[in-house]
Amino acid sequence: MFNVCTRCGAYHADKFIDPDGPYAICPECGYAQPFRQLPLLCVGGPSGGGKSAICGALLGQVDEAVLLEGDILWRPEFAQPADDYRSFFEMWLRVAKNVSQSGRPVVLFGAGMGVPSNIESCVERRYFSQVHYLALVCEDEVLAARLRERPAWRNAGDPEWIPDQVHFNQWFRQHQALADPPLTLVDTTDLSVDEAAGQVDGWIRSVLVDGGLR
C-alpha cells in the first residue's frame, strides 16, 4: 500500500513530494520513498458520449498505458454530489498511482474524469507529474437519441437523466476554452466507434510522446 510508510508504518495520502527524486516524504518520520511520478490521462464526458465503447475498442491496442473504466469500482456510497464525489475520485487516483508504479501510465475513463477541478483538487493528485484531460462530446440531440436507445435496465431514458446529461455535454463545450489545465474535446457525433477510438488513441500517444514515455 503506497500510502503506508515503509519505515514507520504511518498512513498518509498527503506525503510531501520532492520532485528531485522524485520522493514521497513521510510527514511523520521524514523517510523519502522513491517512486515513479508518471502522467495521468483522463477521458470524460456525458453518458452517451462514447467513453465505454471507445475504452473497449482500445483495450489491447495501447500497450504503453493501462486503460481503466471508472464505473467498475462505483458503489452507491460514492454518490455524494455535495462534495463533488470527492471520495470516488480520490480512490481512483490512489489506484492509478499504485498501478503506475509498474512503469506504465494510466488512462482513466469516466464521466467526471474529464472535469479538471474534480481531479486537481484531490490530495492524491500530487503523485502525478501532469494530468491530461479529454472529453467526448456530441450534438445534444444525438446524445439524447443515444440515451433513449439504451436497454431499459440502464434507466438512461429517464426524463430527468437525459436533460442532466445534455447539460453536462454543453458544459464541456462551454468550458473548453477556460479549462486549466487544458481540455481536449473529441466530437463523436458523426464518428464510428473505431473512428472515435482512433482519435483518442492518437491523443494518448501524442501525450506519451511529449512526455518522453515512448
Phi, psi of 132 (to 5 degrees): -110, 135
Tell me the domain boundaries of the chain.
Answer: 1-35, 37-210
Class of 37-210 per CATH?
Answer: alpha beta
Angle CA 43–48–53, to nearest 5: 60
3-state SS, residue 67 = strand
- Identify the pLDDT of residue 186: 98
What is residue 2's predicted lDDT score, i.e. its pLDDT? 84
- pLDDT at res. 152: 81
Give the per-residue pLDDT at 105. 98
CA–CA gap between residue 53 and residue 210 (Å, rounded): 26
For the question of whether the overall pTM of this predicted structure is more than 0.85, the answer is yes
Helix (H, G, I), strand (E, B) or coil at 144: helix
Averaged over successive runs of 10 residues, the pLDDT of the chain (214 residues) comes to 92 97 97 97 97 96 96 94 95 98 97 96 98 98 94 79 96 93 97 98 94 69
Q: Please write down the HEC assignment for all residues of 168-188.
A: HHHHHHHHHHHCCCCEEEEEC
Question: What's the pLDDT at 154?
Answer: 78
CA angle 161, 162, 167 (to 5 degrees): 100
pLDDT value at position 72? 95
The residue whose grid cell reads 467513453 is 51
